[in-house]
Structures are given as C-alpha cells and as structure tokens.
C-alpha cells in the first residue's frame, strides 16, 4: 500500500474511533461514576501507549530527558488526561451527547484566542467573524429547543471548560515538540495521568466496577485516548496531503450524531445539525485565515 493511501486509511480509523466515543461516554456513565470511568480508561490508554513505545523502539528517548522536561510532562499529564477528562466526562454526565460534544469541539477557536494572547498578535476582523460563526453554532445548539428537559448550565460551563483545557494542553504540548517525539510525549502524559489517578484512588477508593463497565472503560481508553492519536500522528507524518488528513477529522462530530441517535436513543434536533455546521465552518474558516495571515507575514 502506498504511503498516501495508508495515511488515508489511518485517518479513517481515527475518524471512526472518535465518532463512537460520545456514545461510549453516555453508555458508560449509565453504569459507573466519573472517577471509575476515567481511571479505567486512562490506565487502558497508558497500556496502549506503552505497547506503542515498545513497537516503535522509543524507550531509549526517556533516558535523554532532562529533569525540567520530566516536570513539564508532569504538568501536561495533570492538564490532560486528568483534568480534561474529569471535566469532559462530567459535562457528558450533565448534558445530552448532542450538546456536550459540539461545545467541546470549539477548542480550536479557544486555542486561536489563547495563541493570539500569548504571542501578542491581534486577531483580524475576519478571524473574529469566523469565531462568531462558531459561537453562534454553540448558542443554537445550547438553546436548541426541542431537547427534552431543561439544559444544564453547569453542563454547558463544563463543556466549555473541557475545550479550554484541551486548548491549554496543545499549547503546552506544542512547546515540547522540538525536544521529544510524539510517541514519547503521549506515553509520558498518560504515565503521569495514571500516577495521579492511582494516588487519588488511594486517598478515596474507587467504587465497584462491573464487568460491562470495565469493558466500556477499556473501549474509551483504546478508541478515544490511545489508538486514534497514534493513527492520526502516523497519517500526518506519512501523507503528502496533510490538509486532507486534517479535514477528514471534521467528519467525526457528524458521524458521532448518527451513533448517538442509534445507540443512545437521543433524538437529534435540527438545531444540532445546523449548529454543528456553523461550529465546524467557523473553525475551518479561522484555520484558513490564520494560515493565510502567516503566509503574508513571511
């Protein structure tokens, strides 16, 4: 198989994996608590990344890391997976999946704002317009009339907080890219995440975990936190068209609605589809405008 074709296959695996996890979150939360869910899933992901470290022969890289780098990864592991997934799972516990997932998907917009603030680079008027389109989509989904019951404001705040945490994760992670491979970076974040969660479970023991909950948690660890990150990274490194690989990932939230309707039983509102189109459209426009501005200033 040609490298370009293999990259598309790996990107497709990534999209299919991420499109199922909103459904897995809701199903798993019905049978176990957030702490139990995150503990099982993060440990499962840690095992996946440890196996990949072995297959990619990356263990030797750990011995070359400075103490300062270890401390940075300790911070990264606290941001994600620990804080990010705690907040994200709580958001799903408070909201229908069709609302929690699109709001969480606004993280690229938040990332753009944070980078502009950190780099002290003003955002263009067109950039603000693109962000406004995405936020209009969020408002439409949140107000969305038709979803049974009142929408939890706490859940909406948690979903936005998860997007903020994920944006912060990528800022810190990006600062480490020149010093360590992506394989080692992912392993270390889940290594520290596992340590933090193990320490928390010693202070406050986990509740009972049924066998079906254990399997569901392992599924989340493998297909949300493990395999898709590995596949996506390989796809980007081996493709001759990275823009296409990135754009394929925008299919995930739309496929996710199909699985949520099929397996969770949520009736997907028209406002959800329209709002998600606005969110993704704003993100794509913002990325295009950002890339164009960078070219103009080089």
What is the tens place of the pLDDT at every residue in 176-198? 877 899 999 999 999 999 999 99
pLDDT at 88 over 70: yes
Question: Across residues 63-73, what is the average pLDDT?
Answer: 94
pLDDT at 145 over 70: no
Q: CA torsion sign, 151 to 157 to 163 to 165?
A: negative
Instruction: Mean pLDDT check: name the lowest of 109-113, 118-122, 244-248.
Output: 118-122
Confidence of residue 288 (pLDDT cuts 50, 70, 90): confident
For residue range 210-244, what is the model confidence (pLDDT) as tens digits? 888 899 999 999 999 999 999 999 998 888 888 78
Question: Across residues 121-127, what is the average pLDDT?
Answer: 79
Q: Which two tokens stand for residue 238?
A: 């081996």
pLDDT at 146 over 60: no
Instruction: Mean pLDDT check: name the lowest of 110-114, 220-224, 258-262.
Output: 110-114
CB atoms near residue 22 (< 10 Å): 28
Calculate the alpha carbon distances from 37 to 3, 41, 45, 70 in Å: 36, 6, 12, 27
Calculate the alpha carbon distances from 64 to 10, 49, 199, 294 in Å: 30, 19, 27, 33
Q: Among all chains, which residue has been given the structure tokens 């995150």?
A: 38
Q: Tell me what pLDDT residue 294 has.
A: 55
Through-space distance between the first and last CA atoms of the chain, rounded to whole angstroms: 37
Q: Give this prediction's pTM.
A: 0.92
Question: Mean pLDDT score of the chain, rounded to an integer?
Answer: 90
């Amino acid at each position: 198989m040609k490298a370009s074709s293999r990259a598309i296959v790996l990107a497709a695996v990534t999209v299919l994996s991420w499109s199922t996890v909103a459904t897995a979150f809701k199903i798993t939360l019905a049978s176990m608590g957030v702490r139990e869910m995150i503990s099982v899933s993060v440990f499962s992901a840690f095992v996946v990344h440890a196996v990949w470290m072995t297959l990619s022969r990356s263990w030797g890289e750990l011995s070359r890391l400075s103490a300062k780098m270890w401390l940075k990864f300790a911070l990264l592991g606290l941001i994600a997976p620990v804080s990010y997934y705690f907040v994200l799972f709580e958001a799903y516990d408070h909201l229908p999946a069709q609302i929690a997932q699109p709001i969480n998907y606004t993280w690229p917009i938040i990332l753009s704002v944070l980078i502009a603030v950190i780099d002290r680079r003003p955002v263009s008027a067109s950039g603000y317009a693109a962000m406004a389109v995405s936020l209009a989509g969020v408002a439409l989904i949140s107000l969305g009339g038709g979803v049974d019951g009142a929408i939890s404001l706490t859940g909406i705040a948690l979903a936005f907080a998860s997007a903020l945490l994920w944006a912060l994760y990528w800022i810190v992670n990006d600062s480490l890219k020149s010093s360590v491979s992506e394989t080692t970076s992912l392993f270390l974040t889940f290594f520290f995440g596992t340590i933090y969660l193990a320490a928390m479970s010693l202070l406050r023991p986990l509740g009972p975990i049924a066998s079906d909950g254990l399997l569901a948690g392992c599924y989340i660890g493998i297909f949300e936190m493990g395999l898709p990150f590995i596949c996506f990274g390989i796809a980007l490194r081996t493709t001759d068209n990275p823009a296409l690989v990135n754009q394929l990932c925008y299919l995930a939230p739309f496929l996710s609605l199909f699985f949520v309707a099929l397996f969770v039983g949520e009736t997907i509102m028209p406002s959800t589809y329209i709002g998600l189109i606005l969110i993704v459209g704003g993100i794509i426009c913002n990325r295009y405008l950002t890339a164009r501005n960078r070219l103009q200033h080089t």
